[in-house]
Structure 1
Amino acid sequence: MAFRQQSSPHARNARSTSRVMFLVMVAAVPGLLAQTLFFGWGNLINVIWCVALALAAEAGVLRMRGKPVMFFLKDNTAAVTGLLLGLALPPFAPWWVSAIAVITAIIMAKQLYGGLGSNPFNPAMVGYALVLISFPVALTTNWAAPAGLNSGAPGLLETLGVIFSGKLLAVDAFTMATPLDVYKNEITAKIASEVRQHPSFGEGIARGWEWVNLAFLAGGIGLVVLRIITWHIPLSMLGGLAIMSLAFGTNPDQYAPLSLHLLAGATMLGAFFIATDPVSAATSHQGKLIYGAGIGVLLYIIRTWGSYPDAVAFAVLLMNFSVPFIDHYTPPRTYGHKKPRRGLAGRNPE
């Protein structure tokens, strides 16, 4: 009789990678619906375009590498990368900008490192950061004005025309800077009460944006409840952002308040759907707490004193660099032992 050899602790995860990625996509649906409701059809179109292009790029590279195409496409990881880029890019971003971001994410940030499980950086954020640095105008001037202010906003077919031709309508008539961008640029010459008169804030924290973030928060909590992700990275990231804001930004006449940091921009999308990437994030629970807190701190620093009003991509990528160091000093307890071997004492003798 042949016995199956398997290393301890002989535990199995009942959920496959494809199932986990599918649940991640389902959890992102409330945020996508909120984006569509408050900012028009742009993000929905971007998601469909980016997902289709991500699958096509992945299939092409797999075929060139001689790998079974359908076997790897079924894991849904390429689809999740396309989904995240479609959610993160501006609603009226030109199709070629999205294409460059997706192709960079799939080919350069994922497949060139060996495919799933081998990439040291979050693929979606590599693609996003590349187009943000390379095409800053396209990434900062194509945000849609929130519902109620964009009465002249294009419908579905017109939005398709704007994205894929760029020649229909006057984009300036229905686009607007994000609340974080407005606050960052205007608070230097005005007080908080004057800045908040800008129509992008409305009567709440950030017109439309707070509901989008709450929708992603709801989806993220669902992922935690289903144990698709753990609470460590989202909570520590939001905690690091909150601590920095309370330490340096208590005066709203100088810096954006905590409420704006939490419920404007890509904060909740970043905390629950981007920073929690299982491949490029830290491994142990303690490591995840350090990793998430680092993202939150960097997010506040770049938003407040950097050149970009939102900085989830840069914060995540910078912390991806530190993951090997974090994992080296925060290994989990080895099965059957009381304490983990950490630091220099845990190094294998050469």
Structure 2
Amino acid sequence: MGEMFHVSSNPHVRDGMTTSKIMQLVAIALLPATAFGIWNFGLRALLVVAISVVSSVAAEWLYDHFMHKPNTVTDFSAVVTGLLLGLNMPYSIPLWMPILGSAFAIIVVKQLFGGLGQNFMNPALAGRCFLMISFAGKMTDFAVSDKFRGVVDGVTGATPLAALKDHGFVEGSVPVKNLFLGNIQGTIGETSAIAILIGAVILLYFKVIDLKIPLTYIGTFAVFVIVYMLCTGKGFDMNYLFSHIFGGGLMLGAWFMATDYVTTPITPKGQYVYGVCLGVVTAIFRLFGASAEGVSYAIIFCNLLVPQIERFTRPVAFGKGGKKA
């Protein structure tokens, strides 16, 4: 009896990139932001990130074990989820919160919907938003060390975006250089734009992501902020614009969370539409909402739009023509 082969329809694509390799590359690309966050906030930040990662892996292993499912810990997706969740937290939060957020992200958002590839929103962001809704005070309590006193004038413990929203932009109060380099308050992984961009270059070099979604997202957001400045009589202020681009979670969200394979459109046109939606929704949340930040909620909201975006941007099969079914 000869060996049986599975024959599928063409086209056939051979690629050595596996889910495990992709997740490992994402984890490596997050290391610059992680290392800078630890340097910025100290060993307490390392402890928060480590607990988040270990809790995510443990939650996935326990779920697989008790549900009698194949163990999926080795695909590194739980590691990436825990790492992203930890980087989206203040370094001063109680240490039980990363454990709770990780359990929610892995068990409720990921596993209960079928595991990797079946979740309808980004698990790490869902975990963060769950904690934000449940424990808003602790998730927005950015304890100030001596390193940051005076970086944001008159706002003890505030992030630059919070100062910007509450007091308006004051020349020199939040230097764009500090925003780019990372000498500011914020969550562990969002403060240094240059560290995030180094990670983005790694993802682009290994073709884990492309530029469509991040650039469309950031570009749309920038255009919206410019229009807002002009329409409200502020005039064009480059410092105000860059404070919004480099401040908060926009850079981390655009390069590492908005590009999640599972929760983004698979059609090229859909990815552009998705990026535009992200930019508009983020700007609306930031400029007109009660909170100074809006990236996490914007990405989750747009995750829910992905099925409809794919439906209306699905290409017509060659030779079919006419209207899409």
TM-score tier by shorter-chain length is 0.7 to 0.9
Summarize the Cα distance change of 1:3–1:214 in structure 2 as closer, same or farther, 3 Å threshold: same
1:305 to 267, 272, 288: 288
CA distance in 1, matches of 2:146, 2:299: 27
Q: List gaps (5 residues or longer) in structure 2.
A: 151-155, 185-189
1:208 to 183, 192, 205: 183
SS across alignment from 1:208: coil
Q: List gaps (5 residues or longer) in structure 1.
A: 151-174
Summarize the Cα distance change of 1:203–1:120 in structure 2 as closer, same or farther, 3 Å threshold: closer
Question: For residue 141 of structure 2, what is the amino acid of its counterpart?
Answer: T
**Equivalent pair of 1:205/1:259 in contact (CA under 8 Å):** no
CA distance in 2, matches of 1:52, 1:88: 16
Is residue 192 from structure 1 mapped to residue 192 from structure 2 by the alignment? no
Q: Find the counterpart in structure 2 of residue 222 from structure 1.
A: 202
Question: For residue 307 of structure 1, what is the amino acid of its counterpart?
Answer: A
Identity %: 32
CA distance in 1, matches of 2:210, 2:7: 30
Q: Deviation of residue 7 (structure 1)?
A: 2.6
Summarize the Cα distance change of 1:76–1:36 in structure 2 as closer, same or farther, 3 Å threshold: same
CA distance in 1, matches of 2:313, 2:176: 45
SS across alignment from 2:290: coil
What is the aligned residue count? 308
Summarize the Cα distance change of 1:16–1:253 in structure 2 as closer, same or farther, 3 Å threshold: closer
After superposing on structure 2, the runs of 4+ consecutive aligned residues of structure 1 that deviate more than 6 Å are: 252-256
TM-score, scaled to structure 2: 0.87
Question: For residue 170 of structure 2, what is the amino acid of its counterpart?
Answer: A
SS across alignment from 1:346: coil
Q: Find the counterpart in structure 1 of residue 6 from structure 2.
A: 4
Question: For residue 57 of structure 1, what is the amino acid of its counterpart?
Answer: A
TM-score, scaled to structure 1: 0.81
Cα distance per residue 1:179-216 (max 9 Å; x no partner): 101111122xxx623xx43xxx2573536259711210
Q: Deviation of residue 55 (structure 1)?
A: 0.5
Is residue 29 from structure 1 mapped to residue 31 from structure 2 by the alignment? yes
SS across alignment from 1:214: helix
Q: Find the counterpart in structure 2 of residue 76 from structure 1.
A: 76
Is residue 279 from structure 1 mapped to residue 262 from structure 2 by the alignment? yes
CA distance in 1, matches of 2:116, 2:143: 32
Q: Deviation of residue 285 (structure 1)?
A: 1.4
Cα distance per residue 1:280-320 (max 9 Å; x no partner): 11111111111122111111111111111111110001101
Q: Find the counterpart in structure 1 of residue 303 from structure 2.
A: 320
Q: Find the counterpart in structure 2 of residue 290 from structure 1.
A: 273
Q: Deviation of residue 261 (structure 1)?
A: 1.3
| Pairwise CA RMSD | 2.5
Summarize the Cα distance change of 1:338–1:224 in structure 2 as closer, same or farther, 3 Å threshold: farther
Summarize the Cα distance change of 1:7–1:306 in structure 2 as closer, same or farther, 3 Å threshold: same
Q: Find the counterpart in structure 2 of residue 50 from structure 1.
A: 52
